[in-house]
Structure 1
Amino acid sequence: MATTLRLSLPGLTTSLGLLFLAGAAALLLAAPARRPAPAFPLPQTTIVPPATLVHRLDGEYSRAGRPIDAPRVTVKIGAPLEIMRYQVTAADYARCVAAGACKRLDSPAPRGDLPVTGVSHTDATDYAAWLSRETGAVWRLPSDREWAHAAGSRFVDDARGFDPDATNPAQRWLADYEREANRKAASDPAPRTIGSFGANEHGVHDIAGNVWEWTRTCLRRVTQDAAGTTIGETGNCGIYVVEGQHRAMMTFFIRNPKSGGCSVGTPPDNLGFRLVREQSWRDRLPEGLRRLLPA
């Protein structure tokens, strides 16, 4: 009996292997074909590998009624991040406008090779939705943590030097003044042409240059007691984190003044965006299987 079982194992293993390959082949043949490539050039992207980084959390923190810096925590990015090498250009955005999927800007850039600026959060998400439909991939704004991960060594810590135990407000004012003076010195007028600020170690160009970028992270306000224990947190998705030479908070902006509210107005002319491409099930397959998929 034992001899019979030992002799049948190779055959059994071979049969299971053939069944697996047959099933995999059937799935590949049944897989929907990719849609034709769009008529315009696809965005250039780069892959930022998984990593663990020390990151200062986004949000406005207060302790015992006084503002403090957000804590720095260890953040694990467990999957590769595919992000645009360059910011979305004026020419890129104009295609979306021509397709009727994006709103025309109040002050469009004079050249197509410049980053598109003066865009609201809605403008950026409208473009992402249009690009997703055109390419069959999922494009979206990065989160604050994803943007910091992609920025790598160019990410600027936005700590303001708050000391929750300080009783002299002049110390905080001096820290604010020094920080803002350094930022203004670093934001002197410079060319905004794509690639002007070079690439970082991940191959991401112009990140933390003089164009700020929208993220999908909403404003958080965190309240702590005197011992540093969080006792309350609120979110406001009418305000989003923007990243650039430093982190800032920006209202999402609306272009219809009839609706009223503090969000009415034109977005700043130094505010643009780049997108993240989410991995699909095809991307997760081994290279050998991806080659067997219909083109």
Structure 2
Amino acid sequence: MATTLNLSLPRLTTSLGLLLMAGAAALLLAGPARRPAPAFPLPQTAIVPPATLLHRVDGEYSRAGRPIDAPRVEIRMGRPLEIMRYQVTAADYARCVAASACKRLEQPAARGDLPVTGVSHSDAADYAAWLSRETGMTWRLPSDREWAHAAGSRFIDDARGLDPENTNPALRWLADYERETSRKAARDAVPQPVGSFGANEHGVHDIAGNVWEWTQSCLRRVSLDAGGRTVSETTNCGIYVVEGQHRAMMTFFVRNPKSGGCSVGTPPDNLGFRLVREQSWRDRLPAFMSRRLPA
């Protein structure tokens, strides 16, 4: 009995695999009717492959009561990331406004090919929801880690590089002064048409250039003791990480950073965004089936 069962198991596995594949194909064919294609071109996207990267984590860290740089850790991005090649443009956002799905801007850009600026985190979320409805795909803001992964070699680590054991306040003041001076110089840049800053190794354009971009990562404050152990950690989702030529924290309703709202350091001049497209189960099914079916 046991011998018969063992001999028929490969055949059973193969049959089950074929049944699963047939069922998956039926699900794909019998899926909901496709919605009409939107009357505007779909966003161009880039696929960033899985990778392990050394990343300075987001958050405000203190050790024994003194501000320190956030730690740099190795993180694994295990899935491909599909992200817009370009920042959302003024023309893109205007379509959402025309559809009464996005709030009007206080000062719309003079040209449609400029990245949209003067948008809050709420505005970006409204646009993502509208684009998802129009395309039948799921669009959202990237997390801080996803943004850094997409930025690749263009991610700017603006840590002060201080020895956490050093208690000399003058060294910290000098490091802060140098960092804020470079940040103020970056603020003088005027937004350029999308694509003006070229593409990185992943085919993502203007990243860490042109305008700063909203993420979906909330502000974290982490307190460490003298030995480097975490004492407390709080999360504030009224404030979000924005990425660009440096990392900053902005209140969710702020549209114009120059009016205030940055939790620490020099705020960016212009806030824009780009979105990530989440893969649906239909997108992931072929890869899943190829891993599960016998060779």
How far apart, in 2, do the equivalents of 1:86 and 1:279 lie?
A: 19
Letter in 2 for 1:96: C
How far apart, in 1, do the equivalents of 2:279 and 2:31 lie?
A: 17
Deviation at 1:44, TM superposition (A): 0.4
How far apart, in 2, do the equivalents of 1:3 and 1:216 lie?
A: 56
| 2:169 alignment counterpart | 169
Instruction: Say whether residues 1:282 and 2:252 are aligned partners.
Output: no
| 1:43 alignment counterpart | 43
| 2:220 alignment counterpart | 220
Letter in 1 for 2:235: G
Letter in 2 for 1:48: V
Change (3 A) 1:18 1:122: closer
How far apart, in 2, do the equivalents of 1:160 and 1:101 lie?
A: 41
Q: Cα deviations across residues 189-209 of structure 1 (Å, max 9, x unaligned)?
A: 355111110000000000011
Letter in 1 for 2:85: R
Deviation at 1:108, TM superposition (A): 0.7
Deviation at 1:110, TM superposition (A): 0.6
Deviation at 1:140, TM superposition (A): 0.4
TM-score by length of 2: 0.85
Letter in 2 for 1:78: G
Runs (5+) with no aligned partner, structure 1: 256-261, 290-295
How far apart, in 2, do the equivalents of 1:161 and 1:133 lie?
A: 45
Contact 1:117 1:268 in 2 (8 A): no
Change (3 A) 1:178 1:22: closer
| 1:198 alignment counterpart | 198
For the pair shown, which has the larger CA radius of gyration, 1 or 2? Answer: 1
Contact 2:187 2:269 in 1 (8 A): no
Change (3 A) 1:130 1:75: same
SS of residue paired to 2:285: coil
Letter in 1 for 2:248: A
| 2:123 alignment counterpart | 123
How far apart, in 2, do the equivalents of 1:78 and 1:3 lie?
A: 40
Q: How does 1:230-241 map to 2 (within 5 A)?
A: 230-241=230-241
The farther-off stretch of 1-10 and 150-159 is: 1-10
Contact 2:115 2:191 in 1 (8 A): no
| 1:30 alignment counterpart | 30
Q: How does 1:59-138 map to 2 (within 5 A)?
A: 59-138=59-138
SS of residue paired to 1:238: strand
Change (3 A) 1:67 1:6: closer
Q: How does 1:142-157 map to 2 (within 5 A)?
A: 142-157=142-157
| 2:178 alignment counterpart | 178
Contact 1:240 1:252 in 2 (8 A): yes
How far apart, in 1, do the equivalents of 2:210 and 2:85 lie?
A: 16
Q: Cα deviations across residues 136-155 of structure 1 (Å, max 9, x unaligned)?
A: 11100000000000000000
Deviation at 1:284, TM superposition (A): 1.2
How far apart, in 1, do the equivalents of 2:2 and 2:277 lie?
A: 55
Deviation at 1:13, TM superposition (A): 7.4
TM-score by length of 1: 0.85
Change (3 A) 1:164 1:33: same
Q: Cα deviations across residues 194-230 of structure 1 (Å, max 9, x unaligned)?
A: 1110000000000011300000001100011111111
SS of residue paired to 1:97: helix
Change (3 A) 1:222 1:202: same
Letter in 2 for 1:214: W
Aligned length: 279
Contact 1:187 1:210 in 2 (8 A): no
Q: Cα deviations across residues 37-59 of structure 1 (Å, max 9, x unaligned)?
A: 10011100000000000001111
Change (3 A) 1:15 1:164: closer
Contact 1:118 1:268 in 2 (8 A): no
Contact 1:117 1:269 in 2 (8 A): no
Deviation at 1:15, TM superposition (A): 5.8
Change (3 A) 1:39 1:5: same
How far apart, in 2, do the equivalents of 1:123 and 1:68 lie?
A: 33
Q: Cα deviations across residues 148-178 of structure 1 (Å, max 9, x unaligned)?
A: 0000000011212333322321111111222
How far apart, in 2, do the equivalents of 1:6 and 1:224 lie?
A: 57
